Amino acid sequence: MQLTVWTYEGPPHIGAMRVATAMEGLHYVLHAPQGDTYADLLFTMIERRAKRPPVTYTTFQARDLGGDTAALFKDAVAAAYERFRPQAMIVGASCTAELIQDDPGGLAKALGLPIPVIPLELPAYQKKENWGASETFYRLVRALSGPPVERGPVDGRRRSCNLLGPTALGFRHRDDLIEIRAILGRLGIAVNVVAPSGATPADLGRLGEADFNIVLYPEIARAAAQYLEKAHGQPFVETVPIGVGATTRFVEAVAALAGVDPAPVLAGAPSRLPWYSRSVDSTYLTGKRVFVFGDATHALAIARVAAQEIGFRLVGLGTYTREFAREVRAEAALHGIEATITDDYLDVEAAIQAAAPELVLGTQMERHVAKRLGIPCAVISAPVHVQDFPARHSPQMGFEGANVLFDALVHPLMMGLEEHLLGMFRDDPEFHDGAAPSHLGHRPSDGTHAVGRAPAASPLAPAPAPIRIEGEAAIQTASWAPDAEKELKKIPFFVRGKARANTERYARERRLPLITLETLYDAKAHFSR
Amino acid sequence: MNAHAPQPAACDVEIRPERGQRAVFCGLTSIVWLHRKIQDAFFLVVGSRTCAHLIQSAAGVMIFAEPRFATAIIDERDLAGLADMNEELDRVVTRLIERRPEIRLLFLVGSCPSEVIKLDLSRAALRLSQRLAPEVRVLNYSGSGIETTFTQGEDACLAALVPGLPEATEADDDLLVVGALADIVEDQFARLFAELGIRARFLPARRAERMPSVGRGTRYLLAQPFLTDTARALEERGARRLAAPFPLGAEGTTGWLRAAAEAFGIDPARFDTVTAPGLRRARQALAPYREKLSGKRVFFFPDSQLEVPLARFLAREMAAELIEVGTPYLHRAHLAAEIEQLPGGTLVVDGQSLDDGLDRCRAARPDLTVCGLGLANPLEAEGLTTKWSIELLFTPIQGYEQAGDLAELFARPLDRRARLEV
């Protein structure tokens, strides 16, 4: 048993719903108790879908358990077929129905419906939402993609690809797809089928006609792409095009597979991110301590953007996607940090506190943790709430996605000039340590300056270095002489914490009883080596 | 008193049972408002990831403010053997109480998975109660979807509280008001009863150690229509229910208060004096909304069992027309005073067959459809105006002072549709 308040992922049948809801002409009959229909509102409210998800629930109750729940299930399948006339169906059990052990696959098969009925085995007590989506998509592709297709000779023919992975309730999947389609259009590559999003079961039957596959979200589509590689000989590209570098690599990889020239797409300055990052206002972003957490796809991609394209320093990286733990650990190791692989938000909160970042990039959950800790934050991954299914075009992928990311990652922080002014005029009433970024409105003032204090207290302090402590006295922190304390306050607040910690460490190591003006500058000189 | 209201004609009300797919919440959802009401209680759901996901979805952002509810997620190891599972539960509870020492009352809330595998939570509650006494009392009830629909979770919770309520003495001639009400509503009612000269106490109380007493002779008034099991448990303790409509709207509130006043032998003149200011304000607040809601055709999908009293309010006080009143469960005795006041020809559907209900709704094309969040946007997209029903549970709607707010909840979607030009 695991004590849980917040869960990053729903149960696996929610993943199956994400696939079914993304598709057209597919119906899902879910053997589930009354109440499991709550999942509908994730789609109708958070994603604001205008249609009910194509899911029929058996909604059995206690009085049904004494009778024949199997018959109830069969009736539900038959009625759903009659009413919706889908091209194909998926059937399965939610967590409770898994325990009562009716066999959805067998029962549905016994009905002899004239359409493919694909049974799903989604172990609800072991697996979670993303796995459920991946497994469902894989099963659909396996059942419907048909026998190997004879593709015409490649010479002179326009190549085509499938785009795999976008689902319902996917973080920015809608707009990512627009960006990727545009890139492929400019490369002269045809898109054969996009799936699951917008595809029908019949479309899945045409998957084999493409020359290759593009996996946009490995958590969801890697298994299906691996199957298609084996069954249809289709190679696949799995570079997630989030960030300028990754998009460039993606374009090159796709162009190489299609035998086309990537140059027209890469020519000029396809994204504003590089110039914005180079502009002097961004100098202040250098080395800002950032903590990244999310699903593996986004955490990995955003960590690279943060470190290599915006110049932040990665002080934390983690994911709740255990299936991709190895990849995330490897990336974290490159930054000399240990990855946080957990689905317990309290562990993530502890890791954030320990890493003392100046910016948190995470899910809805990290947004709340960061708010509590008074740290700026941007959302980069599901789970997200309704505001992260925006009306405006806001992709994460492609060159426009990189533009969106630059804004998203930088806005929660002080603009460079603003931060500079705060340092220069810190004694002016308008520019005090507690001033929040001017574009983010104001926190209620309770006399303490949470924003100013947080960075001064911890994030800018040097990483704890092993200090040899000799004797009891060494633990004592030297007290500050009034003039030294006064001088310290003249140091801009965003480096003041570091200056204070360094000076105290310097004094401690030298067992100085009092920190004077001289000690302050001695320490500054010592640490500036 | 209400010139626009249709004449009551109870005999014409058709009550039609229906079975089939149901689009409703399970009883776990009621934790979201119950935990706010009982301030030192903690609700631990013993269930699956689905249960945790449901509560998270229902609780929205509330989940981050150190909520007093959580889920002990059953995993594969637990399913291997029952003995092991009780140990696991004890471990989880111990950890929980260590982290939250201020908790005085812990509810172990059963779910579909825990009920289906027959995990004996009542025994677990006894065992843990003995271990954690006297600081923490541990109770259990089921909020599972197989046994409870949405607000029935509150019923199960309150019913679990009843056996442990202190025994009332002969001297305690208090009125017991049953059903969680928003604090502001509870305070208003407490003041009104005090002015009438009735000592009223409320179940649930705001703190675990201040739960009201009950005994032979206790007279209770249901503030909510979904308290079947709680009422039964109270009757077993010798309490007697006062038949009344529910305190929604000016009429409902007056009827509800009057039932108590009559039972306690309050002078009618005094009753009129005490209720007059509230009644006047409620009528005043309702008047502008009657214009907007009068003649509007309303369709209720089943959700909370509040549908019948709400329909009565809309028909009688707002002069709305009722197409269909769906309710997940109909307790005829508790709702007798309500059904009696429904306009003639009203169709009350007890239970649900979702797709059939949707067919009827689409065919009728109501002016306003009251439904859950899973249906609301899809129906809006079909051009129907909807009012999402969950809000009626989270918003203070009972009593005189809230009558206008209640009408506004129904008028707002119509107003909005009229405003939008794109």
User: Which residues does chain B have within 8 Å of residue A96's beta carbon, measured at their own beta carbons?
Assistant: 48, 50, 112-113, 116, 145-146
Residue (of A165, A171, A255) closest to A211 by Cα position = A255
Sheet with strand B219-222: strands edge to edge: B200-203, B175-178, B219-222, B240-241
With CB atoms and an 8 Å threshold, state whether B147 touches A62.
Answer: yes
Cβ contacts below 8 Å, chain A against chain B, sum to 177
pLDDT score at A455: 36
Looking at the predicted structure, is the pLDDT value of residue B63 above 90?
Answer: no
Looking at the predicted structure, is the pLDDT value of residue A443 above 60?
Answer: no
Contact between B236 and B216 under an 8 Å Cβ cutoff? The reply is no
pLDDT score at B83: 66
pLDDT score at B3: 42
Which stretch, A303-312, A435-444, B49-58, has highest mean pLDDT? A303-312
Contact between B385 and B371 under an 8 Å Cβ cutoff? The reply is no
Looking at the predicted structure, is the pLDDT value of residue B335 above 70?
Answer: yes
Q: Is A84 on the interface with B (CB under 8 A)?
A: no
Buried b (16+ CB within 10 A) or exposed e, A133-158: bbbbbbbbbebbbeeeeebeeeeeee
Contact between A130 and A320 under an 8 Å Cβ cutoff? The reply is no
Contact between B145 and A94 under an 8 Å Cβ cutoff? The reply is no
pLDDT score at A499: 83
Looking at the predicted structure, is the pLDDT value of residue B2 above 90?
Answer: no
User: Which residues does chain A have within 8 Å of residue B79's beta carbon, measured at their own beta carbons?
Assistant: 99, 125
Assigned token pair, B309: 């009293």
Q: What is the pLDDT of residues A335-378, one digit of tens each?
A: 999 999 999 988 999 999 999 999 999 999 999 899 888 889 99
Has A344 been annotated as catalytic?
Answer: no
Q: Is B56 on the interface with A (CB under 8 A)?
A: yes
pLDDT score at A526: 83
Higher-confidence position of B161 and A3: B161
- Average predicted confidence (pLDDT) for chain A: 88
Give the residue-averaged pLDDT of B77-86.
Answer: 82
Question: Closest to A35 (Cβ–Cβ): which among B25, B75, B89?
Answer: B25
pLDDT score at B22: 96
pLDDT score at A494: 62
Q: What is the pLDDT of residues A90-103, one digit of tens each?
A: 999 999 999 998 99
Q: What is the pLDDT of residues B361-387, one digit of tens each?
A: 999 999 999 999 999 999 999 999 999
Give the residue-averaged pLDDT of A474-502.
Answer: 79
pLDDT category of residue A441 using cuts at 50, 70 and 90? low
Which 95-124 residues of chain A touch chain B by CB within 8 A?
A: 95-96, 99-100, 123-124
pLDDT score at A465: 40
Least reliable range by pLDDT among A74-78, B148-152, B167-171: B167-171
State the Cα–Cα distance between residues A433 and A423, nearest whole angstrom: 8
Q: How far is CA A101 from CA A2, A459, B49, B181, in A?
A: 24, 53, 18, 41
- Cα torsion for B49, B54, B56, B58, to the nearest 10°? 180
- The alpha carbon of residue B63 is apart from the nearest alpha carbon of chain A, in Å, by 7
* Half-sphere exposure for B142 (CA within 13 Å, toward CB): 19
Calculate helix-pair angle for B183-196, B249-263, nearest 10 degrees.
Answer: 50
- Selecting among A40, A64, A103, A281, the annotated active-site residue is A281
Share of chain B above pLDDT 90, in %: 88
Which of A18, A31, A40, A41 would you mutate first to test chain B, the one with the most B CBs within 10 A? A41
This model of the complex carries an ipTM of 0.93
pLDDT score at B254: 98
Higher-confidence position of A450 and B138: B138
pLDDT score at A424: 62
Residue (of A516, A508, A436, A433) closest to A470 by Cα position = A508
Residue (of B350, B37, B84) closest to B185 by Cα position = B37
Which of A96, A343, A365, A384 would you mutate first to test chain B, the one with the most B CBs within 10 A? A96
* DSSP helix/strand/coil, B368: strand
| Helix H or strand E segment including B374 | helix B373-381
State the Cα–Cα distance between residues B155 and B234, nearest whole angstrom: 12
* DSSP helix/strand/coil, A477: coil
State the Cα–Cα distance between residues B78 and B362, nearest whole angstrom: 46
Task: Determine whether the annotation assigns residue B51 to a binding site.
Answer: yes
Q: Is B390 on the interface with A (CB under 8 A)?
A: no
Looking at the predicted structure, is the pLDDT value of residue B266 above 70?
Answer: yes
Looking at the predicted structure, is the pLDDT value of residue B223 above 50?
Answer: yes
Sheet with strand A160-164: strands edge to edge: A190-195, A160-164, A212-215, A236-237
State the Cα–Cα distance between residues A399 and A243, nearest whole angstrom: 7
Looking at the predicted structure, is the pLDDT value of residue B64 above 70?
Answer: no
Assigned token pair, B79: 């399913």
Residues listed for chain A: 529
Residue (of B349, B152, B142, B388) closest to A41 by Cα position = B388
pLDDT score at A416: 57
Looking at the predicted structure, is the pLDDT value of residue B392 above 60?
Answer: yes
With CB atoms and an 8 Å threshold, state whether A1 touches B70.
Answer: no
Looking at the predicted structure, is the pLDDT value of residue A522 above 60?
Answer: yes
In single-letter form, the type of residue at position A354 comes to A
Least reliable range by pLDDT among A121-135, A372-386, B6-20, B367-381: B6-20
- Average predicted confidence (pLDDT) for chain B: 93
Give the residue-averaged pLDDT of A284-296.
Answer: 95
